Structure 1
Amino acid sequence: MKYRFLFILSCICTSIFGQTTRLVQDEEQLWLGYFNQSRISNKWGIWFDAHYRTTDHFIKEPSKFLSRLGLMYYINDDLKFTNAYNYANHFPEEGHANISQPEHRIWHQLQLHTKYGKLRTMQWLRLEERFRRKIKNDNELAEGYRFDERIRYNFLLNIPLSSKGIAPKTFSAVLNNEVMLNLSKNNVYNVFDQNRFFAGLAYNIDSHSNFQFGYMNVYQQLASGNRFRNINSIRLFFFQNLDFRKKAKK
């Protein structure tokens, strides 16, 4: 296990730093997102989220649309497992300049919430099985789908800015980092896929809803290995964690 980890780490380092000529493309994007996790019983819940992203001076062109729907199983109040489906539409861009590329994903996730005094953290480990429609040329899709796998690790730290802690009508500072690695043999030159770092504020509307806004940097390695995308983005996300369980009568 130790040597496998060292091998993967060396592949990532080689993938990022081993290229003699690195071409970096800078972009500006706007990311809008809605997340909902609704608990319907002690053991089961529903996951839903939807995203719309724009690019080219933040808002000139559409970039991506994504929606996810899944079933959550609560191992306990702080640990849950999700199986879900994700549809993504990649609007016209380099490689398919005049057509959109559809993508279907099946994903599996283990999510953990922890508390350290007033601080709160959230982590998830997600495995994605991706089916991306093949591209014939800039104007036409090809038959069939390309299959790839990707693993994602996400860590979020929520720091209350009020003596009340995380309470309704208060602000929190949010730091969030997610790293993604490609597992498929098809990805020869980019085992490292991308890293997303976010720093911003959360406004806690009530006990189950908050609005996050701030800056996110996405650094992505493209399939050729020596080409990278550096995205500076404004991220606006709305989160809801609802509980539909019947309250016990007192």
Structure 2
Amino acid sequence: MKNNFIGILLFVIPLAVVGLTDQKKEINQQVQTWVSINTVTKFADHWGVIGDFHIRRNDFVADPSFYFIRGGISYLPNSNVSINLGYAHMWLAPSNPDWSTFADENRIYQQAQLNAKFGNVSILQRLRNEQRWQEKIVDDKPSGDWRFTNRIRYLMSFTFRISDKKSWPQMVLSDEILLHFGEEVVYNTFDQNRFFIGIKKNINPKWSYDFGYMNVYQQKYSGYQYDMNHTIRLFFYLSTSIRKKAPSEIENSGDE
């Protein structure tokens, strides 16, 4: 009897484990458009304020994905290093097509950025830590509950000068990995990866932009569902100063 019971357990337990973990991978492919303006204003030799505004839409531009605003203060010990601290807010569109209620998200973030240059290549590295409070929506209504996660992001970006002519654009290649942790993060410590290839061009000494293709590969909380977002990205950058000296040369790499 005892041997039979053990035999049944040895047969049932593996089946239960397989049932929990062997979910078929589902990938949702979609096309997005992402536009933003990212600003840096230097008000002292080593201090500045930053402000970003982002709009991302699904099905090219047909449906909303999110609206995002971020602000903060930046400390610049030298021309190659910046340390930022600030707050951000997101309005996230519902994924259910029958719903209309946007979910709020509040963030506090800390960031360190390092710029370096080797020949014709500029290298930007950014480490950002975010504390996120995401509102839960149930039956198209705010539930009053919030999900808390801590997300760590690492970005490495390469900008290649392809011509000595200043009128020519530069080539940009970057990748960012995002990991998050929290009580409800069980199956997807990996949050997403963002790969970008495109061009960067200066409009004038204060304004510049980058334009290109971004692939956003994001894992859902279920662990087996993913979004593969083929994103057309257009980011504008404004660098100004309220000092009498020349405008700041901080390279802003703001994204949601």
Name the TM-score, length of structure 2 as normaliser: 0.83
Partner of 2:151: 150
| Identical amino acids, percent of aligned pairs | 34
d(CA) in 2 for partners of 1:51, 1:88:
9
Structure 1 spans left out of the alignment, 5+ residues:
1-17
Amino acid at match of 2:141: E
* 2:172 corresponds to: 174
The answer on whether the counterparts of 2:147 and 2:184 sit within 8 Å (CA) in structure 1 is no
Equivalent AA in structure 2 for residue 159 of structure 1: F
Paired residues of 1:96 and 1:135 also in contact (CA < 8 A): no
Letter in 2 for 1:33: S
Structure 1 window deviating more from structure 2 (93-102 vs 178-187): it is 93-102
Residue of structure 2 equivalent to 1:238: 236
Q: 1: distance between equivalents of 2:147 and 2:27?
A: 25
What corresponds to 1:100 in structure 2? 102
Contact preservation (8 Å) 1:128, 1:150:
yes
Q: 2:44 — aligned with what?
A: 41
SS at match of 2:94: coil
Cα distance change, pair 182–95 in 1 and its aligned pair in 2 (3 A): farther
| Equivalent residues, number | 226
Partner of 2:224: 226
- Paired AA for residue 70 in structure 2: R
- Alignment-derived partner of residue 191 in structure 1: 189
Tell me the TM-score normalized by structure 1: 0.85
- Matching residue of 2:128: 126
Aligned partners of 1:34 and 1:237 also within 8 Å: yes
- Higher Cα Rg, which structure: 2
Mark the CA change 1:140 to 1:108 in structure 2 (over 3 Å): closer, same or farther: same
AA partner of residue 151 (structure 1): I
Cα distance 1:81–1:19, how it changes in 2: closer, same or farther (>3 A)?
Answer: farther
Matched ranges for 1:60-71 at <5 A:
60-71=62-73
Shift of 1:162: 1.6
For 1:129 and 1:30, the matched residues in 2 are separated by 26
Deviations 1:225-250 (A, max 9, x none): 011110101001111222333239xx
The corresponding residue for 1:14 is none
The answer to whether the 8 A contact 1:170-1:204 is kept is no
Shift of 1:204: 1.5
RMSD of aligned Cα (Å): 1.8
What displacement does 1:170 show?
Answer: 2.8
| Structure 2 counterpart of 1:160, one-letter code | R
Q: Return the offset for 1:20.
A: 5.1
For residue 146 of structure 1, give the secondary structure of its aligned residue in structure 2: strand
* Cα shift at 1:117: 1.9
Other-structure match for 1:11 = none
Displacement over 6 Å in runs of 4+: none
Cα distance, 1:206 vs structure 2 = 2.4
Q: Residues 112 and 19 (structure 1 numbering): CA distance in 2 closer, same or farther, change over 3 Å?
A: farther
- State the Cα deviation string for residues 136-165 of structure 1 (Å, max 9, x = none): 22x21111422111011111111112214x
- In structure 1, C-alpha distance between the alignment counterparts of 2:135 and 2:97, rounded to whole Å: 12
Q: Distance in 1 between matches of 2:88 and 2:56?
A: 16
The match for 2:161 is 160
The DSSP-based 3-state class of the residue aligned with 1:185 is coil
